[in-house]
Amino acid sequence: MNGLLFGLTRDQVAGTRSWYNSRWHYDNETETRAAPDLVFSHYCSPNGRACSNRCGKHCLTGGDYSMNLADLKSYLQAQDRLGDLDTNQDAWAPKALLNVSSSGKSSSDRSIAEYAADIWGISPCPVQ
């Protein structure tokens, strides 16, 4: 694996969803608290106070179905690992080369061609 993994695994999500409480992460993890607090501050949406209040409250009162707050601390730790990796050319260069060399497998051209053929049942139209 060449990427930086973070967050709960599928099995961990399945095993904890029934008792998951996003509020626990907000109350106990300083890094996690900062994200909803930024939403509550209306920094990102100064004219959409009702929307940002609704989104923030929803996330803290049982609406965090995707368990985003459970993954936030792990995400920030992965960002720190990425920053450390970025300052180490000997470690960064091989990873960057592998990512670039495998990018063709996930190119938008390939994705669009597959959707066109497999989902929409259409073929390319030559452009003069």
Q: Consecutive 10-residue runs of the chain (128 residues): their mean pLDDT?
A: 83 90 92 85 72 72 83 93 89 86 73 84 83
Q: Tokens 């609704």: give the residue.
A: 54
How many DSSP H helices and E strands does the chain contain? 7, 0
What pLDDT does 60 receive? 81
Per-residue pLDDT at 74: 94
Q: What is the pLDDT of residue 55?
A: 72
